């Protein structure tokens, strides 16, 4: 007996936040539609898709991370943020690296391109930064973009005040603002980072994962089902239209066809094109204009933290209740945002850390909140030839077509990286005393923000894969979701934008279902 239905209205491939956004909007707008979600990874948290940081028991949390690491569940990951700057080719907890094909001779490649395979996808492990795109990051042909971003805020449970009581966050923002705000428009000024996190009534932090995106309305929808450990190997088509999915039940090894009127592939920016390619759906732009956000990091210490706190009348700085609330559940106690601008095409994520990312000289006690990690993500110079290719002969550990990444930094990319390295030193000095003698440039792929591989276009001009509603050109009924859909070169964290685009696609399906 198969555990899958024979036929549904909508089949969703992947349970990350963009697949979850389709399920949520359909549950709200088309509650009679039968929706099935297929996820290759196991369920690792409760409710389904919940962020693993919400798991209080450390051993259970680490087990959930390990089970999200697909074929690399037994491999070591980088737990200590300091080790990230050592340049090791290692994944972060909850993720695993593309084992082969990540770099071709003579190219830069994406040496630390990574995935998560679990219910909730990468958003069971993410930092939850949800800035809005600005300037050229925005998709100019979507006139409803702000409304969609507002919906994405709602689905992801984005807040800006969760860390307001944490020490020195206002001070960090003031110092950054003094260094960069001059001449910037309001949207581009230093501000609190919008984060997908909220506080429960008892004060504990709850990080949003796909569980928050799904919400009670989806969980209570009798027409919605989620199937974990279910690999979609291809999209079925009939007369050129999407007609369902072929699924391998990883518990039994058996293969089943599930018929569907609409199929949404939300399997991340590298595996969504993989599923399409495996289905023989291969538009010219599939897998192309791949872009990642090259990242530079640095750290600074607020050396005068104790004096500042005393002068403000706050007494000796202490995490107070936040110490108990954040405890081991939070790797940072405040996040500030230095927005991207077209003149400075990098996005700043400034996080106050609970510990220093590198060993500190001497045995000075570290005042909580006084170590500040700075990161700048750079927008890529988009190139048609930067791409993920799939093999007709070789397969990956799931038996899907093996990937090869072709990826190069252009001269312009190097210029922007140089500018970002200079900028981050200025930001570190503005905040306090830089830690370490120079910023570190992360191996490519470290941002985990891969985009462009199923890009949206205003028209079917051969340079895009899908329409503004995320429907694949020439394959009616087939939708793509995830960061791969974003057509612009963004530097800001992309999930809010890709959830916004998913909302648009889901509304289109809901309207179509209502009209037939
Ligand atoms: P994913 O969340 O990757 O989900 C895709 C799902 O599809 C996976 O669960 C996968 O197993 C499943 N799948 C793949 N292939 C198949 C198949 N053939 N059949 C069935 N299922 C399949 N982004 C931000 O915007 N802000 C941040 O602060 C941020 N911080 C991050 C920090 C970390 C440590 C990590 C790991 C990620 C971070 N990200 C951040 C990235 C963010 O998590 C992703 O952008 C987001 O999860 C993408 O959502 P998605 O639904 O497109 O894909």
What are the residue ranges spanned by the domains of the chain? 1-55+64-76+115-155+210-292+450-516
Q: Is the pLDDT of residue 326 over 60?
A: no
Q: Whose CA is nearest to atom 53 of ligand 1?
A: 268
Average the pLDDT over 10-35 and give the result: 98
Q: Are 454 and 276 in contact (CB under 8 A)?
A: yes
Average pLDDT over the chain, rounded to an integer: 92
Task: Report the alpha-carbon distance of residue 194 to residue 130 in Å, rounded.
Answer: 5
Distance, CA 164 to ligand 1 centroid (Å)?
A: 28
Residue position matching structure tokens 């549904």: 8
Task: Report the alpha-carbon distance of residue 514 to residue 516 in Å, rounded.
Answer: 6
Among 70-79, 134-143, 210-219, 349-358, which stretch is predicted with the lowest mean pLDDT? 349-358
Q: What pLDDT shows up at residue 323? A: 30
The minimum-distance atom of ligand 1 relative to the CA of 492 is: 25
Buried/exposed code over 64-96 (b: 16+ C-beta within 10 A; e: otherwise): bbbbbbbebeeeebbeebeebbeeeebbbbbbb
State the pLDDT confidence band at 315, using cuts at 50, 70 and 90: very low
Q: Which two tokens stand for residue 474?
A: 């020439």
Q: Is the pLDDT of residue 239 over 60?
A: yes
Percent of the chain with pLDDT over 70: 91
Q: Which two tokens stand for residue 117?
A: 């395979």
Q: Is the pLDDT of residue 215 over 90?
A: yes
Q: What pLDDT shows up at residue 362? A: 60
Distance, CA 116 to ligand 1 centroid (Å)?
A: 6
Task: Report the alpha-carbon distance of residue 482 to residue 470 in Å, rounded.
Answer: 10
Q: Are 319 and 326 in contact (CB under 8 A)?
A: yes
Which DSSP state fits 189? S
Q: Whose CA is nearest to atom 11 of ligand 1?
A: 117
Percent of the chain with pLDDT over 90: 82
Q: Is the pLDDT of residue 47 over 60?
A: yes
Distance, CA 210 to ligand 1 centroid (Å)?
A: 10
Q: Are 212 and 219 in contact (CB under 8 A)?
A: no
DSSP of 212-248, one letter per residue? HHHHHHHHT-TTEEEE-SEEEEEEEEETTEEEEEEEE
Marked catalytic residue, from 125, 347, 406, 449: 449
State the pLDDT confidence band at 333, using cuts at 50, 70 and 90: low
Residue position matching structure tokens 């409760």: 46
Which DSSP state fits 335? E
The minimum-distance atom of ligand 1 relative to the CA of 349 is: 28
Span 399-454, pLDDT tens digits: 999 999 999 999 999 999 999 999 999 999 999 999 989 999 999 999 999 999 99
Among 1-10, 42-51, 259-268, 308-317, which stretch is predicted with the lowest mean pLDDT? 308-317
The minimum-distance atom of ligand 1 relative to the CA of 483 is: 52
The distance of Cα 414 from the centroid of its chain, to the nearest Å, equals: 24
Task: Report the alpha-carbon distance of residue 112 to residue 152 in Å, rounded.
Answer: 28
Among 107-111, 149-153, 270-274, 326-330, which stretch is predicted with the lowest mean pLDDT? 326-330
Q: What pLDDT shows up at residue 318? A: 37
Distance, CA 183 to ligand 1 centroid (Å)?
A: 36
Pocket of ligand 1 (CB under 6 A): 13-19, 38-41, 92, 94-95, 116-118, 121-123, 125-129, 231-232, 266-268, 271, 275, 448, 482-483, 493-495, 498
Average the pLDDT over 181-198 and give the result: 97
Architecture of domain 1-55+64-76+115-155+210-292+450-516 in CATH?
3-Layer(bba) Sandwich (3.50)
Half-sphere exposure of 80 (CA within 13 A, CB side): 11
Average the pLDDT over 175-202 and give the result: 96
Average the pLDDT over 55-65 and give the result: 96
Q: What pLDDT shows up at residue 254? A: 97
Backbone angles phi, psi at 235, to 5 degrees: -95, 135
Q: What pLDDT shows up at residue 329? A: 32
Q: What pLDDT shows up at residue 78? A: 77
Task: Note if 508 is an active site residue.
Answer: no
Residue of 24, 120, 248, 448 to test ligand 1 pocket, by largest number of atoms within 8 Å of CB: 448
The minimum-distance atom of ligand 1 relative to the CA of 118 is: 9
The minimum-distance atom of ligand 1 relative to the CA of 482 is: 52
**135: helix, coil or strand?**
helix
Considering Cα of 45, then 504, then 290, then 399, what sign does the dihedral take? positive
Q: Is the pLDDT of residue 356 over 90?
A: no
Q: What pLDDT shows up at residue 303? A: 84
330 closest CA partner among 92, 44, 51: 51
Task: Report the alpha-carbon distance of residue 98 to residue 118 in Å, rounded.
Answer: 16
Distance, CA 41 to ligand 1 centroid (Å)?
A: 12
Residue position matching structure tokens 């995106």: 213
Q: What pLDDT shows up at residue 320? A: 31
Among 319-323, 365-369, 482-486, which stretch is predicted with the lowest mean pLDDT? 319-323
Residue of 13, 14, 250, 397 to test ligand 1 pocket, by largest number of atoms within 8 Å of CB: 14
Q: Whose CA is nearest to atom 9 of ligand 1?
A: 121
Distance, CA 178 to ligand 1 centroid (Å)?
A: 35
Enter the pTM of the model: 0.95
Backbone angles phi, psi at 336, to 5 degrees: -115, 160
In this structure, the number of other CB atoms found within 10 A of the CB of residue 284 comes to: 11
How far is the first Cα of the chain from the last one, in angstroms, to the nearest whole number? Answer: 32
Distance, CA 448 to ligand 1 centroid (Å)?
A: 8
Which DSSP state fits 131? P
Q: What pLDDT shows up at residue 167? A: 80
Q: Let me know how long the chain is.
A: 516
Backbone angles phi, psi at 499, to 5 degrees: -70, -40
The minimum-distance atom of ligand 1 relative to the CA of 195 is: 28
Q: What pLDDT shows up at residue 324? A: 30
Backbone angles phi, psi at 458, to 5 degrees: -70, -35
């Amino acid at each position: 007996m198969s555990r899958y239905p024979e036929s549904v209205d909508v089949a969703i491939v992947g349970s990350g936040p963009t697949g979850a956004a389709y399920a949520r909007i359909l549950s709200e707008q088309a509650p009679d539609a039968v929706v099935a979600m297929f996820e290759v990874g196991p369920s690792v948290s409760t409710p389904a898709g919940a962020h693993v940081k919400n798991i209080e028991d450390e051993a259970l949390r680490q087990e959930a991370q390990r089970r999200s690491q697909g074929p690399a569940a037994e491999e070591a990951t980088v737990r200590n943020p300091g080790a990230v700057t050592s340049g090791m080719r290692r994944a972060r907890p909850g993720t695993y690296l593309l084992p082969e094909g990540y770099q071709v001779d003579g190219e830069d490649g994406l040496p630390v391109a990574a995935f998560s395979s679990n219910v909730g996808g990468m958003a069971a492990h993410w930092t939850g930064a949800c800035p809005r795109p600005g300037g050229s990051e925005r998709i100019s042909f979507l006139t409803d973009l702000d409304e969609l971003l507002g919906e994405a805020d709602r689905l992801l449970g984005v807040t800006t005040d969760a860390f307001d009581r944490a020490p020195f966050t206002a001070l960090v923002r003031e110092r950054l603002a003094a260094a960069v705000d001059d001449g910037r428009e309001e949207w581009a000024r230093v501000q609190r980072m919008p984060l997908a996190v909220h506080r429960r009534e008892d004060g504990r932090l709850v990080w949003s994962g796909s569980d928050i995106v799904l919400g009670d309305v989806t969980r209570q929808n009798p027409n919605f089902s989620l199937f974990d450990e279910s690999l979609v190997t291809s999209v079925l088509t009939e007369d050129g239209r999407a007609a369902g999915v072929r699924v391998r039940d990883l518990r039994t090894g058996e293969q089943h066809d599930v018929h569907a009127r609409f199929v949404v592939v939300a399997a991340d920016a590298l595996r969504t094109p993989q599923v399409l390619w495996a289905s023989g759906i291969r538009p010219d732009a599939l897998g192309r204009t791949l872009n990642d956000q090259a990242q530079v990091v640095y750290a600074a210490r607020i050396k005068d933290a104790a004096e500042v706190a005393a002068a403000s009348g706050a007494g000796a700085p202490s995490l107070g209740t936040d110490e108990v609330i954040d405890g081991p559940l939070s790797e940072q106690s405040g996040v500030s945002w230095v927005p991207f601008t077209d003149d400075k095409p990098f996005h700043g994520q400034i996080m106050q850390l609970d510990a220093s990312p590198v060993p500190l000289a001497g045995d000075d006690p570290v005042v909580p909140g006084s170590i500040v990690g700075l990161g700048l993500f750079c927008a890529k110079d988009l190139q048609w030839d930067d791409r993920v290719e799939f093999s007709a002969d070789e397969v990956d550990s799931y038996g899907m077509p093996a990937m090869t990444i072709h990826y190069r930094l252009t001269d312009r990319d190097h210029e922007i990286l140089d500018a970002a390295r200079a900028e981050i030193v200025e930001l570190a000095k503005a905040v306090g005393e830089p830690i370490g003698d120079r910023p570190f440039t992360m191996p490519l792929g470290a941002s985990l923000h891969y985009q462009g591989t199923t890009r949206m276009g205003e028209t079917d001009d051969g340079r895009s894969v899908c329409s503004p509603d995320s429907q694949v050109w020439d394959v009616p009924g087939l939708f793509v979701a995830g960061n791969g859909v974003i057509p612009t070169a963004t530097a800001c964290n992309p999930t809010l934008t890709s959830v916004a685009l998913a909302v648009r696609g889901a509304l289109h399906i809901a309207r179509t279902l209502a009209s037939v």
